[in-house]
Amino acid sequence: MRTSAFKQVDVFTSEPMRGNALAVVLDADGLGDADMQRVAAWTNLSETTFVLAPSQPGASYRLRIFTPRNELPFAGHPSVGSGHALLEAGMIKPGTPIVQECAAGLLPVRVVGEGAARRVFVTAPPIRRLPIAAAAGTDAAVALGAKALADAPQFIDSGPHWLLCDLGDERSVRELKPDLAAIAALAHRIAGIGIAVFGRAPGSEYALAVRAFCPGAGIAEDPVTGSVAAALGFVLAQSGELKSIGSSFAISQGREIGRDGRIEVNVDTASGRVEIGGQSVTCVDGTLVLPGD
């Protein structure tokens, strides 16, 4: 039987089982697409990553990212958590240039601090706004069970395609009781992964409260979502709202499902680049028996 070193990492938290769990297969060279998808379906986490030797000059490692149902070109918590796992395993070294290769391109990785306080940051791939029908706002409000949206929703490509809905304030985000079947149907119609909502939290140690729903991808509510954080950095920079909250801010996500994740977002307002990151903690460290032929 073939095996691989394996870690299950809790991402965007320093406290085990309070962030977003990620499975990391550290020796995936030679593993086929179907087997990777099989492993990801078996772990049944929002994402499972597979570490391979880089195929492009300048890359430190290659990462493939799978949900239980499909592969993603980029996702935030898998990138941050895999960086943590690779550092812990000694497969990459802090203090040297680190570049992640994935389907979205070559992405710089930055490490801050040491030990339990260490934070890993990844630069998101270029983010763009996608066209969306005007009726999507009404459809989203109905699916979310929201009285009204604070503004028209925006359809954003930050790796996955998210419909971002501004609910105005934190309380509206926290109290939301969405119709998951309606969200899945809407996401399917617009070819997106799901709907993410956000609201402002003045006076808190974080700027925004966020929730992300992607039942069509097999995840009813994602605990802490890096690609949504990156999309929000882009959207707030475009709207000029970073002038009031700052180009570096924190996001709170996951309390409604028993988590308490924290994502740090840094926006380079000159270039438009968005960096996301935070702490991670390893909860499982061992060996995985890989699928056979």
Neighbouring CB atoms inside 10 A of 292's CB total: 7
| Active site annotation includes 88 | no
In which residue are the tokens 């995936």 written?
28
Alpha carbon distance 199, 240 (integer Å): 16
CA-closest candidate to residue 37, choices 85, 63, 69, 78: 69
Q: Which candidate in 47, 88, 101, 221 is catalytic?
A: 47
Alpha carbon distance 238, 271 (integer Å): 12
Contact yes or no for 206/175 (Cβ under 8 A): no
| Residues contacting 166, CB < 8 A, separation 6+ | 149, 150, 151, 153, 197, 198, 199
SS3 assignment, position 14: coil
- Which of the 8 DSSP states describes residue 151? S
Alpha carbon distance 161, 106 (integer Å): 19
CA-closest candidate to residue 249, choices 211, 289, 202: 202
Active site residues: 47
